[in-house]
Amino acid sequence: MRAVVLLSGGLDSYTAAAVAKEGGHTLDALTVRYGQVHVTEMQSARKIARALEVERHLELDVNLAAFGGSSLVGDGAIPQDRSIDANEIPSTYVPARNTIFLSLALGWAEVLGAGAIVIGVNALDYSGYPDCRPEYLHAFERMAALATRAGVEGKRVRILAPLLTRSKAEIIRLGSDLGLDYRLTHSCYSPRKEDRPCGRCDSCILRARGFAEAGLTDPALHP
Q: Which residues bind a copy of itself (CB under 8 A)?
A: 58, 60-64, 66-69, 89, 93-100, 102-104, 106-108, 110-111, 130-131, 133, 135-136, 139-140, 142-149, 151-152
Long-range contacts, stretch 211-218, CB < 8 angstroms, 24+ apart:
211/169, 211/172, 212/169, 213/167, 213/168, 213/169, 214/169, 214/170, 214/172, 214/173, 214/176, 216/172, 216/173, 216/176, 218/182
Residue with Cβ nearer a copy of itself (135 or 194): 135
Residue with Cβ nearer a copy of itself (37 or 221): 37
Smallest distance, a copy of itself to C-beta of residue 40, A:
23
Smallest distance, a copy of itself to C-beta of residue 192, A:
28
Count Cβ atoms within 10 A of the Cβ of residue 177 and give its class: 0-12 exposed, 13-18 middle, 19 or more buried: exposed
Q: What is the Cα–Cα distance from 130 to 111, expressed in whole angstroms?
A: 28
Smallest distance, a copy of itself to C-beta of residue 66, A:
6
Q: Do the beta carbons of residue 29 and residue 52 sit within 8 Å?
A: yes
Q: What is the Cα–Cα distance from 51 to 42, expressed in whole angstroms?
A: 14
Residue with Cβ nearer a copy of itself (152 or 178): 152
Smallest distance, a copy of itself to C-beta of residue 124, A:
17
Smallest distance, a copy of itself to C-beta of residue 72, A:
12
Residue with Cβ nearer a copy of itself (62 or 208): 62
Residue with Cβ nearer a copy of itself (14 or 140): 140
